[in-house]
Amino acid sequence: MHCPACGGKAPEELGPLAASDQFAGRRLDHPLPPATLYGCPDCGLWFRYPLPDAGVLSDLYAGVGQDQWQHADSGKLRRDWQAAREWLRARATDSLLDVGCFDGEFLAATSGISERCGIERNSGAAGRARGKGVEILGNELESLSTLSRRFDVVTAFDVIEHVRDPRRFLADAADRLRPRGRIMLATGNRDAWSWRLMGSHYYYCTLPEHCAFLCPRWVRQEAERIGLKVVDCRTYSHVATRFAGKLRELTTNLAWRAMPAVFAFLRRQGFGDRDAARHPDLAAHPPMWSSARDHFIVLLEKP
């Protein structure tokens, strides 16, 4: 087993990743098995190993429903999209490629861009994106490496954590840029304090569709390696949550951290949102913490 990004041969175990019966927000009849979180001492990447089988993953992604990965929460535009729109307004943009564009909602909301292109693996979502005027250039994230067109901007919101090799993904995105082109990349931040507190038990890395875990430091290092400049970087919460909801998630995670065995016992008695009575593997599952400020969006520029 080696690092999927740099090929480093001595990744270190950082902790267990619990079994999960959720995939991209959908409840599965049969949980996906536990895995291990590894960190590469050579390039700093954190990653899940082993990954679910490629065929299983492909079927799971094909089953993602219409409501998943949507744009608005509580009627407000997503925070990462707000930042990206602000950056887009700062400079004229003729062409934009959104990798993992889902139903094209972000592209549809941009104005003054003549070439609006996307890559999307979910065929239903890609069809809806086409209906909004988006030109779909590929239906696998890997299609990025075979494109020849170049763009002023490449965006990827909550996508890079789904790829096995984020170093390659970033290099492929950089290859698609015109001179002075920009990349806007949003993902989870493993340097967030909530993540550091929970370690490999943090909800974000237990989501089985997530295989690579980054932080602003890692992106800066990789960007500089391929000659990109970091222009801006912002942290945010993925989901806007009221104070009471934030407090509930904070206390539940602190309690889990202090007494995981009590949580596992309660789950086995039928409490909580996991069917641990039927699937004992799920008893170890930590609680969600989606209100935490654990995401970042970074703006990179090619010289």
Segment lying near Zn ion (by CB under 5 A), choices 1-9, 52-60, 258-266, 278-286: 1-9
Segment lying near Zn ion (by CB under 5 A), choices 4-12, 143-151, 178-186, 291-299: 4-12
**Binds Zn ion (CB under 5 A): choice among 2, 8, 34, 235:** 8
Segment lying near Zn ion (by CB under 5 A), choices 37-45, 118-126, 180-188, 284-292: 37-45
Segment lying near Zn ion (by CB under 5 A), choices 21-29, 39-47, 54-62, 201-209: 39-47
171 binds Zn ion (CB under 5 A): no
Least Cβ distance, residue 300 to Zn ion (angstroms): 20
Q: Name the residue nearer to Zn ion (CB basis): 45 or 177.
A: 45
Q: Which helix (H) or strand (E) holds 188?
A: strand 177-188
Q: Name the residue nearer to Zn ion (CB basis): 47 or 81.
A: 47
40 binds Zn ion (CB under 5 A): yes
3 binds Zn ion (CB under 5 A): yes
Token pair for residue 162? Answer: 């789904």
CA dihedral sign of residues 260, 265, 266, 271:
positive
**Binds Zn ion (CB under 5 A): choice among 42, 135, 142, 275:** 42
Upstream peptide bond of 50 is cis (omega within 30 degrees of 0): yes
Q: Name the residue nearer to Zn ion (CB basis): 40 or 177.
A: 40
Which candidate, 167, 172, 125, 131, places its Cα nearest to that of 150?
A: 172
Q: Name the residue nearer to Zn ion (CB basis): 45 or 153.
A: 45
How many residues at the interface with Zn ion, by CB under 5 A? Answer: 8
Which candidate, 79, 62, 80, places its Cα nearest to that of 120?
A: 62
Binding characters for Zn ion, 44-83, by CB under 5 A (x = yes) = -x--------------------------------------
Cα–Cα distance measured from residue 241 to residue 119, given in angstroms and rounded to the nearest whole number: 30
Binding characters for Zn ion, 188-227, by CB under 5 A (x = yes) = ----------------------------------------
Length of the chain: 303
Least Cβ distance, residue 172 to Zn ion (angstroms): 17
Q: Name the residue nearer to Zn ion (CB basis): 123 or 221.
A: 221
Segment lying near Zn ion (by CB under 5 A), choices 8-16, 115-123, 219-227, 239-247: 8-16
CA dihedral sign of residues 76, 78, 83, 86:
negative
In the region spanning residues 104 to 143, those forming contacts with Zn ion, defined by CB under 5 A, are none
Strand partners, 49: 36
Q: What are phi and psi of 292, to 5 degrees?
A: -70, 150
5 binds Zn ion (CB under 5 A): yes
CA dihedral sign of residues 52, 143, 145, 151:
negative
43 binds Zn ion (CB under 5 A): yes
> What is the DSSP secondary-structure string of 26-83?
EEEEEEEPPEEEEE-TTT--EEEESPPPHHHHHHHHHT--TTTT-SEETTEEPHHHHH
Query: 233 to each of 83, 167, 184, 215, 248, how far by Cα in Å?
Result: 10, 18, 10, 11, 28
Instruction: Assess contact for 106 and 71: CB atoms under 8 A.
Output: yes
Q: Which residues bind Zn ion (CB under 5 A)?
A: 3, 5-6, 8, 40, 42-43, 45
